[in-house]
Amino acid sequence: MAANNQPESGGEQMSQQTLLRVIAKMTIPFILTFGCYVILHGELGPGGGFQGGVIVAAAFILYGLVFGADELRRRIPTSIIDACMALGALLYAGVGLACVLRGGTFLDYGMLKPDHAGDGEALGMSLVEYGVGLTVASVMVTIYLMISERRATLRKGEVS
């Protein structure tokens, strides 16, 4: 794209460096695993969807930093990230709606398993955390992609 017109600090140069590439490739799986752990563990211990989602997003952002945002965008198309954003929030709202359909009020987790209200609550909370995690991760990636976007929107003579 129009990247060549202006000096860029990210992208091209960084992906040339072997050390960065190797380290990034080595750490990204661990970051993702840890992020998923924080999300999965969230309904009982410290952590949860927000924190875990940000950690998962950090893995993607690291990939984008090292290999360039364009490469990241090629790997996961923005339409899919947009869909994930909605999907996560829908999971949250869907859990709430499922409670209504089972005869409770909105977000009344206990109704998910009327025989074992405690299990229902754990189930509802976990699902909600997964939804939050998905949304937060995709929102963070979107923000990174959007800010790093190098779309040439400046018209001629507009820059002072």
Q: Which residues bind another protein (CB under 8 A)?
A: 50, 79, 82-83, 85-86, 89-90, 93, 96-97, 99-100, 104-110, 139, 143, 146-147, 151, 153-154, 158-160
Task: Decide whether 37 or 106 has the Cβ nearer to another protein.
Answer: 106
- Give the list of residues 6+ apart from residue 148 with CB closer than 8 angstroms, or none: 10, 64, 69
Task: Decide whether 22 or 86 has the Cβ nearer to another protein.
Answer: 86
Q: Give the shortest CB-40-to-another protein separation in angstroms.
A: 19
Q: Give the shortest CB-96-to-another protein separation in angstroms.
A: 8
Compute how many other C-beta atoms are within 10 angstroms of the C-beta atom of residue 88: 23
Is 15 in a helix, a strand, or coil?
helix
- Give the list of residues 6+ apart from residue 11 with CB closer than 8 angstroms, or none: 3, 68, 69, 70
Report d(CA 71, CA 139) in Å as an integer. 18
Q: Give the shortest CB-94-to-another protein separation in angstroms.
A: 8
Answer whether 68's CB lies under 8 Å from 21's CB: no
Q: Give the shortest CB-22-to-another protein separation in angstroms.
A: 31
Q: Give the shortest CB-100-to-another protein separation in angstroms.
A: 6
Task: Decide whether 24 or 92 has the Cβ nearer to another protein.
Answer: 92
User: Which run of H or of E encompasses 70?
Assistant: helix 69-75
Task: Decide whether 28 or 76 has the Cβ nearer to another protein.
Answer: 76
Which DSSP symbol is given to 156? T
The tokens for 121 are: 């609550």
Task: Decide whether 28 or 110 has the Cβ nearer to another protein.
Answer: 110
